Amino acid sequence: MEKVSRLTNEQKEYFMREAMKEADKAALIAEVPIGAVVVLEGEIIGRGHNLREQQQQAAAHAEMFAIQEACRTVGSWRLEGAQLFVTLEPCPMCSGAMLLSRVEEVYFGAYDPKGGTAGTLMNLLTDERFNHWSYVEGGILEAACGQMLTDFFRSLREKKKQKKTGN
């Protein structure tokens, strides 16, 4: 079954900016800046940002928190009809959580050449062997989402360098 987007470009960019606000929250606490929101009928029903270092939890990804909050909001593990926005292409775990929650449409910002499984290394979200698949669109505000990550890692390298030279 061919899946289609039900959103305008303006809507896609609006919600990706909301995901970027979540990524900002991660950056402020020295976490890799990745953020996500889940949207249902035009309303944000779940938000999340990366908290891996702070929580020391391997699964503490932005998308997982956004899906968890969305499930709480609707009172169901089924997020049928929902859209998920995330600033970076999802990894296998988060792609899998999107399938399990039956999210209808997935929009991501920057592509992840090292671990992205929503089109780059593979596309888990459109593999018809699973019992659900989603519409997927990458590259929403791609430059801005990618820049957040670039800036974060540059600043991290500079801090490490300063520490090394004692400045």
Which residues are at the interface with its own copies (CB under 8 A)? 52-53, 55-61, 64, 67-68, 71-72, 75-79, 91-97, 99-102, 114-115, 117, 121-122, 124, 127, 129-131
Q: Is 63 known to be catalytic?
A: yes
Residue 8 CB, shortest distance to its own copies, in Å, is 27
Q: What is the DSSP string of 6-36?
A: -S-HHHHHHHHHHHHHHHHHHHHTTS---EE
User: Which residues make beta-bridge pairs with 44?
Assistant: 39
63 CB-near residues (< 8 Å, 6+ apart):
36, 48, 84, 86, 90, 94, 97, 98
For its own copies, the closer of residues 53 and 158 by Cβ is 53
Annotate 43-65 with DSSP letters as a single string: EEEEEEE--HHHHT-TT--HHHH
| Residue 94 counted as an annotated binding residue | yes
Residue tagged active-site, from 22, 41, 53, 63: 63
Find out whether 145 is annotated in a ligand binding site. Answer: no
Please identify, using beta-carbon distances, which residue of 25 and 102 lies nearer to its own copies.
Answer: 102
Residue set of the binding site for Zn(2+): 61, 91, 94
Catalytic residue numbers read 63
